[in-house]
Chains A and B, each alone.
Chain A
Amino acid sequence: MSECKRFKKLISDYLDDELSADLRVNFDNHLEDCPGCADTTSQIETLKDELKKLPQIQTSPDFDTVLRTRIRIESGIGRRRLHEIVWDWSAKIPVYGMAVALMIIAIVAVISQVNKPTRPEAYPNEIWIGGEPVENKTPNLIKESENYIEVIYEIDRIPPQNSLTNRDSIKNVRKDSSNEMNTSRIQRVNHRVY
C-alpha cells in the first residue's frame, strides 16, 4: 500500500517521460503487480488525451477591431493627458488670476472697513471718543470757567483719525449764551490735549 502511494506520486513523471531509466523499470514492474495503480495510470493517460482534445473556442470576429479601438483610445488618452494638463493649466490661469484678484479686492475691502473712520464724513469736526460721538458720553467732570465749560472725559480708546493721544484728555467746550452744551456746540469745540 505504501508502495502504491509512492508510485502514485510518480504517475505524471512516468507518463511525461520524466523518470530515470531505473525508476521507469521499477514503475513498470509495479504496474504489472498492482491492477489498482495500473488502472489509475491508464485513466490519467486517458485524461491527458481528453484534456488535449477539449474543443478550442475562437475569439469573436470583432476581436481585432475592438482591440485596435481600445489601443487607439488608450494612445489617444495618453496624448490627451499631456495636452489636457497644459490646456487645463492655461485655462485655469485666468480663472485663478481672477479668483486671486477678487480675493485681494475682498481683503482690501474688509481691511478698509475695519480701519474705516467710524466718524461720519458729514461731520468732520465732530468729536468722537471711544467709537461714539462725544455727546453720547457721560463726562467724568465738568468745570465752569468765565468763557468755557471745561468737560473732562476719560478716554479708553482714541480713534486713529483723532489727533488726541492715547491718554486722558480734556475738552474745553465753548460755553454758549444759555450756558448749556449741545450737539451743535460740540462741533465748535476748542480742545486741548495735555
Chain B
Amino acid sequence: MGYETKSKKPTDEELIERFQNGDIYAFDLIVKRYKNQLLNFVYRFLGNAEEAEDLVQETFLRVYRNRKAYQRVAKFSTWIYTIAGNLAKTELRKRKRRKFFSISDLGYDDKDYDISDEAFNPEKTVDGNIKEEIIHREIQALSPKFREVILLRDVKELSYEEISQIVNIPLGTVKSRVNRGRLKLQEKLRHLLKI
C-alpha cells in the first residue's frame, strides 16, 4: 500500500487524485515519474540545463499549489506539460526583454549554441556528441512555436491530440507546425542527415 510496484502501477490520474485527497507520497511519485521527462523537454526548449531544472521545480511547485485545480477531464500529463510549457514560454519572453534592454548581452542563443572545444578536437571523429550538439543548436534556432511542437512530438513522443491540448491550438495546426518544423530542421541538417 502506497508503494509503486510493477504489478500495480497507479496511473497519473490516480496519483493526482490521491494527492488531492492529502496523500503526499503520491506527489513524490508524480515528481519521480515526471522530473526527468519535464527536465528534458524544458532543457531542449530553453537550451540551458540549470534554468530548466529551476523551471521544473517551479512546475512541481505549481502542481503542489494548484492540485485542486486539476480535473480528471484532461490527462495529467497534458496538464503538467501545459504548466511547464507556459513557464518555459514566459521565460523566453523574459529573456527577450532582458536581451532588448541589455546592449552588452550577446543573447542566450549565441552562448548556448557554442560547441565545446572538445567537440572540435581533430582527433575526435564526427561522432554522436557533435551531431547532438548541432541538432540541439538547430532546435534552439527554431522559433518557439515550431520548437515546442517538435519537442513534444519527436522528443517526448506525445500524440498530436495531446499536443493540441497542451499548446491549445487546433489539431490541424499542430500537424502543420510539426511538418513545417521538421522540414526546417531537415533543411538545416541536410548534410548531417546524409551521413
Cα of A57 to Cα of B35 in the assembled complex, Å: 11
Q: Chain A nearest CB: distance from B134 CB in Å?
A: 10
Cα of A9 to Cα of B135 in the assembled complex, Å: 22
Q: Do B194 and A67 touch across chains, with their CB atoms under 8 A apart? A: no
One of B39, B60, B160, B183 near A67 (C-beta < 8 A): B60
Q: Tell whether B71 is near chain A: CB-to-CB under 8 Å.
A: no
Q: Do A12 and B53 touch across chains, with their CB atoms under 8 A apart? A: no
- Residues of B contacting A9 with CB < 8 Å? 176, 179
Cα of A46 to Cα of B40 in the assembled complex, Å: 20
Q: Chain A nearest CB: distance from B56 CB in Å?
A: 7
Q: Tell whether B182 is near chain A: CB-to-CB under 8 Å.
A: yes
Cα of A18 to Cα of B183 in the assembled complex, Å: 17
One of A12, A55, A70 near B182 (C-beta < 8 A): A12
Q: Tell whether B15 is near chain A: CB-to-CB under 8 Å.
A: no
Cα of A135 to Cα of B55 in the assembled complex, Å: 87
What string of 1s and 0s marks CB contacts (under 8 Å) between B32-64 and chain A?
000110011001100001000100110011001
Q: Hey, which bits of chain B sit against chain A, CB under 8 A?
A: 28, 31, 35-36, 39-40, 43-44, 49, 53, 56-57, 60-61, 64-65, 131-132, 135-136, 150, 154-155, 157, 160, 175-176, 178-179, 182-183, 185-186, 189-190, 193-194
Q: Hey, which bits of chain A sit against chain B, CB under 8 A?
A: 8-13, 16, 18, 40, 43-44, 46-48, 50-52, 54-60, 63-64, 66-67, 70-71, 74
